Amino acid sequence: MGQGRKGSSDQKEGKKKRDDCPTPEDGKKCRVCRFPLPVALLQLLLGVAVTAVAFLMLAISPSLLTRETPHWAGIILCLVSILGFILYCITYQPDERTSMQFIVKLLYFILCTIGLVLSVLVVAFAGHHHSQTSNFICEEAGEDCVCVLDQNDPLARTFTYEGVSDCEVITGTLTFYFLLQIFLNLAQALVCAVGAFIMWKHRYQVFFAGLQIGSFSTEQWQKV
């Protein structure tokens, strides 16, 4: 009788544990939130926004330098996001047992780091040019716009923007675009930093909790 009651209680406990376990449908509910899909989506949106604003700036005048129209930073971030989508689609194997998964993870981490550095660089350039264009004193010279920082200084550097008939575009629209690039690239740098940190933490901050489940075998230690 004792063994029967014991077996019955064990069956009830086992049934209770099975009921407490998440069903496959519960695990699929948060599949959209799984890394790196949210980060890759943000990287794609920000990369497209940065590239679009850069080409709008380039349409103002062909005299703008490459550092003033940072489409390169946006394009690189779009490539990083595509790599993140590929990483999301690869079937997960613990401890990078597949070479493809290891290579994609490594490339994603490196490109996120590069994206972070480039975004900070763009913020520095955009901040400098925004401060500069905010203090411009411009006048029209034919089909060009000539700007200086100080009219009373004969040795002051002259900035000539070709194909600009209205200098308000330089002191107003271009200044606004520089400010927009600052905010977009700050967000871009933050997203890249989050992606690189999560990837690094997942790879190097995994540790054993010291909990053992059902067996004394070392393979049964719970990894968190």
CA angle 61, 70, 41 (to 5 degrees): 130
Residue keyed to tokens 């597949």: 98
pLDDT attached to residue 152: 78
According to the model, what pLDDT value does residue 91 have? 57
Structure tokens at 127: 């901040």
For residue range 122-181, what is the model confidence (pLDDT) as tens digits?
A: 999 999 999 999 988 888 888 889 898 887 777 778 888 988 888 889 989 999 999 999
Higher pLDDT, 29 or 107: 107
The better pLDDT of the pair 118, 1 is held by: 118
Q: Please answer whether residues 138 and 145 qualify as being in contact, where contact means their C-beta atoms are separated by less than 8 angstroms.
A: yes
- Kindly report, residue by residue over 70-106, the tens digit of the pLDDT: 999 999 999 999 988 888 887 555 545 567 777 888 8
Backbone angles phi, psi at 167, to 5 degrees: -70, -15
Q: What is the DSSP string of 108-155?
A: HHHHHHHHHHHHHHHHHHHHHHHHHHHT-EEEEETTEEEEES-TT-TT
Give percent of the chain above pLDDT 90.
35
Residue with the bigger pLDDT between 55 and 14: it is 55
Q: Which of 215, 49, 200 is nearest to 119 (CA)?
A: 49
Compute the average pLDDT of residues 17-41: 58
In DSSP terms, 24 is beta-bridged to none
pLDDT of residue 142: 81
- Please check the confidence at residue 2 and state whether its pLDDT lies above 60: no
Q: Which two tokens stand for residue 135?
A: 């203090």
Q: How far apart are CA 81 and CA 89, in angstroms?
A: 13
Residues 6+ apart with CB under 8 A from 40: 80, 81, 82, 83, 84, 85, 87, 88
